[in-house]
Amino acid sequence: MPQAARGSRRTLGVILPSTAIRVVTMQVDGACHCGAIRFTATVDPSKVMVCHCTDCQTLTGSSFRVVAPASIETFTLHGEPKRYVRVGESGAKRVQAFCPNCGSPVFAMALEDPTQVSLRVGVLRQRNQLAPALQIWTRSAQPWVNALGTVQGCEKQEAFNAR
Ligand SMILES: [Zn+2]
Ligand SMILES: [Zn+2]
């Protein structure tokens, strides 16, 4: 537990741990690979999650997506991303924003009346400080994903060059 989160607060005679009432937020900034799209926002690191849905697999060209939700009031965008509207299983329409030049996915939000922005953690400068706290759509997770730590690894690509 971080030092700052220790302690307690007395409310109506009930002692509440301060962690139960306080949201620790983090200021983040992100950019696509070519730098044409940049943004800043405030995220709650405890809300970072992995999505294993098949749409995220296709839209990222990878095996899962990592997202950090941010309140839209905290979000400032520079540059003009391309917007693709995805219709989810629930019928909800969500805008998927990506760089028209380099193709990096940068964020998503509801098509109508968005209150939150789902930042793509891979484009955040602080991504190594944002470990996921939740996984969703695990029914479509790749079967090998939990065993990744057992797969041979090397710091760069020496093993790949040797093949
Ligand atoms: Zn770009
Ligand atoms: Zn997904």
Interval 91-126: pLDDT, tens: 999 999 999 999 999 999 999 999 999 999 999 999
> Distance from the CA of 34 to the center of ligand 1, in angstroms?
4
Total Cβ atoms within 10 A of residue 161:
8
Q: Could you report the per-residue pLDDT of 65-83, keeping only the tens digit for each?
A: 999 999 999 999 999 999 9
- Compute the radius of gyration of the chain from its Cα atoms: 19
Please give the distance, rounded to the nearest whole angstrom, from the Cα atom of residue 106 to the centre of ligand 2: 14
Backbone angles phi, psi at 43, to 5 degrees: -115, 160
The whole model's pTM is what? 0.84
The beta strands (E) that lie in the chain are given as 8-11, 14-17, 26-31, 38-43, 49-51, 65-71, 76-78, 82-87, 93-98, 105-110, 116-120, 134-136
Instruction: Looking at the CA of 98, name the nearest ligand.
Output: 1
The ligand placed nearest to the CA atom of residue 80 is 1
Ligand nearest to C-alpha 34: 1
Q: Which residues contact 147 (CB under 8 A, 6 or more apart)?
A: none
Here the tokens at position 95 are: 């805008």
CA 125 to chain centre: 12
Torsional class of 90: left (φ above 0), alpha (ψ -120 to 50), beta (otherwise) = alpha
User: SS3 for 91?
Assistant: coil
**CATH entry 2.170.150.70 includes domain 25-142:** yes
The CA 43 to ligand 2 mean position distance, Å, reads 19
Question: What is the 8-class DSSP label of residue 13?
Answer: T
From the CA of 81, the nearest ligand is 1
User: What mean pLDDT is reported for the chain?
Assistant: 90
